[in-house]
Amino acid sequence: MNTVTCSEEVEDARSAGTAIVALESTVYSNLGLPSPDNERALIRCLDAIREAGAVPAVTAVLDGQLRAGLEEVEYDRILGPAKKAAERDLPVAIGQGWDVGATTVSASLEIAQLAGIDLFATGGVGGVHRGVEMTGDISADLSAIARHRVITVSAGAKSFLDLPRTLEVLETLGATVVGWETDVLPAFTARSTTCPIPYRIDDLDELVSIARAQLGFGRGMLVTNPVPIEDALDQNLHDTALTTALADAKATGIVGAAITPFVLDRIAEASGGASIPANISLLVNNTTLAARIAGAL
């Protein structure tokens, strides 16, 4: 079995039985938020987890090694250029000794499970892409959420995805999906969609009880947590920008993984940059909730 190298802080937390929350590194790299917003987001998320009494474990591949938690001097490495590492890429990243591999949701869940970490927080998960009947494009995030014994907290899924089909695939895979104080699936920087969530949970003790039971089955689940209302994008502005961006992407032949940065850049432009603070806000909100769950577990 591949081993995971943990930071000193994470090793101490494991020994002491302190709660730990895993984080992906893609969003904090040059592949995610632009500089210096990525560093600002990272600092706020690390602080939020620690303030909630837990320990952060940023996942990554550094010098060909799987990592759960970074030392202070290593954070600069993930803030700069990196190769994107999904779960399927991890053997290559190890075998080729990648300098910096920024882990996606699927890779982060694999590393978290190997390190024995029960909670993982991210921004918005991937899902079923529109036009899947032609492309077959379904994010590996969904199967990873279902397979790994880790609870994922996110602000729903990226809004440009086929959200009804995303929920259907999660159901098919046997992934439990609950909404924290919401009846509908959030859509990243937008708070609401027309997709109902199977279970709404408003009590933290109840949420923790469900998480504990799910971990007992040896599987994961998705906790959807809407972006704070004061930082959410105006719904009409978001929906209009999304529709326009998707039409432009189709007209220019942008498909696959290239759609994500294209659409997010268009939404940022249409919102006058408001999508960046919204993105940071939802990241902090998710890490805080994940730390509260981890602490209670």
Quick one: average pLDDT of 108-124? 97
pTM (predicted TM-score): 0.94
Handedness of CA 210, 208, 151, 164 (dihedral sign): positive
CB distance 283 to 123 below 8 Å: yes
What does the pLDDT read at residue 158? 86
What does the pLDDT read at residue 238? 84
Q: In the annotation, is 206 catalytic?
A: no
Residue type, 152: T
Indicate which residue of 71, 133, 158, 168 is catalytic. 158
In order of 75, 83, 170, the CA distances from 198 in angstroms are 38, 36, 11
What does the pLDDT read at residue 267? 84
List of residues 6+ apart from 200 with CB closer than 8 A? 178, 179, 181, 182, 183
Quick one: average pLDDT of 36-57? 97
In order of 15, 41, 85, the CA distances from 283 in angstroms are 27, 8, 20
**102 closest CA partner among 136, 74, 137, 142:** 74
Tell me the pLDDT band of 257, cut-offs 50, 70 and 90.
low
Residue 42 scores a pLDDT above 70:
yes
What does the pLDDT read at residue 274? 84
Residue 1 scores a pLDDT above 90:
no
Q: In the annotation, is 158 catalytic?
A: yes
Indicate which residue of 24, 83, 84, 133 is catalytic. 24
Rama region for 64: left / alpha / beta (φ>0; ψ in -120 to 50; rest): left
What does the pLDDT read at residue 117? 98
HSE-CB of 209 using CA atoms within 13 angstroms: 6
**Could you give all domains of the chain from N- to C-terminal order, each with its CATH number?**
1-117 (3.40.1790.10), 120-297 (3.40.1790.10)
Quick one: average pLDDT of 257-269? 79
Question: Cα separation of 281 and 285, whole Å?
Answer: 6
Mean pLDDT across the chain, nearest whole number? 93
- Portion of the chain with pLDDT greater than 70, in percent: 99
- 3-class DSSP state of 128: strand
Quick one: average pLDDT of 269-274? 82
CB distance 262 to 158 below 8 Å: no
- 3-class DSSP state of 178: strand
Cα 253 to chain center, whole Å?
27
Angle (CA) 138-144-147 rounded to 5° is: 125
Both tokens assigned to 183 = 């009846």
Quick one: average pLDDT of 4-17? 97
What does the pLDDT read at residue 218? 96
Question: Cα separation of 227 and 132, whole Å?
Answer: 27
